[in-house]
Every structure is written in C-alpha cells, then in structure tokens.
Amino acid sequence: MPGFELFGDKERNELNDVLDNGVLMRYGFDGMRNGHWKAKELELELENQLQVKHAQLVSSGTAAVSVALASAGIGSGDEVIMPTFTFVASFEAIMMLGAVPILVDIDDTLTLDPKAVKAAITPKTKAIMPVHMCGSMANMDALQAICKEHHLLLIEDSSQATGATYNGKPLGSIGDLGCLSLDFVKIITAGEGGAVLTNNEKFHTHADHFSDHGHDHKGNDRGAETHPFLGYNFRISELHAAVGLAQLRRLDEFVAIQKKNYTIFREGLSTIPEVTFRTVPIGGEESYSFLSFFLPNLETTRKASAALKEAGVDACFHYYDNSWHYIREWQHLKKLKTLYPLSQEVKDGLDYLQTKTFEQSDHYIGRNISCLIKLSWTEAEVKVRLEKMVEAIKNSL
C-alpha cells in the first residue's frame, strides 16, 4: 500500500484506451465511445471480487459514505454511531446530510468496541458505522447482532481495508452497505474515487440516482432521463475508473506482497517482549496494509515514535497526537467550526463533545504505532528497516 507504487503498463493501457476513445465522462455519449465503459467495467469487477450484488462508483470515499447513508434514508437529526479512531471524512460525510455522528470508544482491535456501541444507542440511532482502520476489522458478528437486536443499519467503511476478509467474506460486503475509497494512498487507487457496495436492490437504485443529480439512467438518451428525486454530483470520471480497473485486477498480487513484508516485520518485532499486537477478530484476515502494535505506555510510545523518525523509518504513525485521525485533535468538530450554519438539531446532538472523554480509546491509541507496509520494498530493504525498528523501539523502552 499504496497501489501507485506499482503503476505500470496495465494502468497506462487502460488510461490510453479512454484517451484514444475520447469520452472521459462515465454517462452518455453512447455513439462516441464505441462500447467503452470503464466505470461499468470497474463496478462489475468490484461486484465479482468483493462478492456483492451491486457496486456504485462515486467521486471519493467520503462521497461513498454520504451516498450510502442517503440511500438508506438517513438524514436530519438521525444518529450514526462511529469510532473515535478514523479519518475526519467519517463525521464530515454524516454531517453533510444533517445527521449526527455519535463517537464511541474503540477496543484493542482499533475499531468499534461493541460494548461502547450498545451503551450509545438511543431512540434517534439509525445506523452503526464501523471503520476498518489500517487494514483490519471490527468484530462484525457482535455488531451484526446489535444491529439485529435494535433494528439498525450496519454500514461498513472499508476505505483502509480493501483486500481484508471476515469469515471468508470481503470487508465491505457484510453490512447493509459498504463504502470504499480509491484515493491516491489506498491499496487500490484510482487517483480519486470511491464505491458504495450493497446487496440491497433499493439502496443500489438510490445510490445510482443520488450520485448523478437524481438521473434515473433509463434508456440511452441522457437528456430524456427523469429525476425521481433530488441528487448531487458525486460522479467518477472514466479516467479515474480506468486506473482503478487495472489496479483492482491486481488486488491479490498486492495483498500477497504486503503479507510477505508484514510477516517479516511482525516476526521481528515479536522478539521484543514489551511489544504486543492489535487484536484481529476470530475469522478475520487483514489486508496487511499496516502493522499495528502496542507499547507499554504513552511516554514510551512517544519516545519510540520519535526514535523511528530519527532512524529514518518513515510512515510509522502514532495517531494519539494526529489531527486527522483521532478525536483528541478534532477541534474544528468540537467547536463546530463550519462555513455554513448548522441546524439546531446537529448543534444539540454534538453538545456531548464538550464534556465527553474517551479514556479507553486514549489507552489504546496512546500506546499504538501503525506502520505502513509498502509494496515497492525489496526483501533486503524490509530487513534493513526491521533492524532499525527493533533498535529504535528497544532504545525507547
């Protein structure tokens, strides 16, 4: 990860096919494109590889979350339970629809703690949204049971975990809806892009229409299409879809490379008694995009993070002080800094952030370091990097 490390002839050929054809928009221009439909091809490939009935491409992973929520009818004043450790896009996508993000603690999976989820359910709760961070997953059996008990939707954000599986099923295919990111730093990249996955025919139809100004996409005359409901422009381009298509066909190749490199690092770090690793739920297999481990306490972890950087070991993230991925530094959310007025429902719904603390999340994120696993490393480079990691961590203990 990310897939751009191994860009080559396959990606160039798909791109050139679009440029030679001349139609860069995914819809319309049927007579000009001579049967070339990269977005449609990529959607079919997603459906086949990720074992879902329907895939709808959109412009980003953030758009995928908003489109998924809207497709399920979630909006004004509805509450969506999400984790404290994610990317800011998670709450941005929820709030765009006028819904309220309810942040709850993570556990040692670095994803939603089912006990914290149950405690956060109110009459306004409409969905639970686990975010499969850093290549691994939430306890989906437990979350599915909660959703069934309380009649809630389960919406997976699998933006960082394409290629991972749970009980043999690809992440993103398990919930009522799944969301993928295809942005530049994901294992499968289209440069920019995302996808909504579902086995629900109604949700798919809604996503298809909503992401393209409400167009019903019936017939082959775009100008004559009707608009059953309001929508927005979340379209992907044929250029982006072409790159994503070539990349997705290489998913197994990419995961195998990551697993090989990941295994070398994990075996090496396992020799340090103070290092423990994130819990992967029973039945789960990571995408091996990151190696996530814990050190004994916050002070040691901060020292180790600094030592890794000093040793030239890049892309090892201590998210505790990170302003993009963890609740501690989301001051713009806590202080409701927006360019537009928020509804009173959203203001009231987010008031809990003024006093809410997340000691359990702090306990795990404060001691966690997540190291990106690159596709382009040689085995020799992996071993040199491991030596530096082991030395930096031991010197910090």
SS3 392: helix
Each residue's pLDDT expressed in tens, for the chain with a length of 397 residues: 899 999 999 999 999 999 999 999 999 999 999 999 999 999 999 999 999 999 999 999 999 999 999 999 999 999 999 999 999 999 999 999 999 999 999 999 999 999 999 999 999 999 999 999 999 999 999 999 999 999 999 999 999 999 999 999 999 999 999 999 999 999 999 999 999 999 999 999 999 999 999 999 999 899 999 999 999 999 999 999 999 999 999 999 999 999 999 999 999 999 999 999 999 999 999 999 999 999 999 999 999 999 999 999 999 999 999 999 999 999 999 999 999 999 999 999 999 999 999 999 999 999 999 999 999 999 999 999 999 999 999 999 9
Strand order in the sheet with 368-372: 276-277, 290-294, 368-372, 316-317
Question: Which secondary-structure segment (H or E) carries 54?
Answer: strand 54-58
Edge-to-edge strand ranges of the sheet holding 284-285: 169-170, 165-166, 284-285
Tell me the H-state helices in the chain. 9-21, 30-33, 38-50, 61-71, 89-96, 114-120, 140-150, 201-210, 238-248, 251-269, 298-310, 331-334, 344-349, 359-365, 379-396
Domains and CATH numbers, the chain: 3-250 (3.40.640.10), 252-396 (3.90.1150.10)
Sort 274 into a burial class: Cβ within 10 Å, 0-12 / 13-18 / 19+.
middle
Output the six-digit token pair for 124. Answer: 């306004």
pTM: 0.97
Phi/psi at 55 (nearest 5 deg)?
-130, 130
- Give the pLDDT score at 8: 97
Name the residue with tokens 């100008």: 223
* Cβ neighbourhood burial of 286 (10 Å; 0-12, 13-18, 19+): buried
Closest listed residue to residue 88, CA positions, set 332, 315, 318, 320: 332
Q: Which token pair is 273?
A: 């008694």
Instruction: Please give the structure tokens belonging to residue 17.
Output: 């096919």
The kind and range of the H/E element at 165 are strand 165-166
CB atoms within 10 A of CB 124: 14
- Please report the pLDDT score of residue 309 as a whole number: 98
For residue 216, the model assigns a pLDDT of 97
Long-range contacts of 197-202 (CB under 8 A, 24+ apart): 197/46, 197/50, 197/52, 197/54, 197/55, 197/172, 197/173, 198/52, 198/53, 198/54, 198/68, 198/71, 199/52, 199/53, 199/54, 199/173, 200/54, 200/176, 201/53, 201/54
- How far is the C-alpha of 43 from the C-alpha of 63, rounded, in Å? 16
So what's the pLDDT on residue 105? 98
Q: How much of the chain is in helix, strand and coil states, percent to nearest 5? A: 45, 15, 40
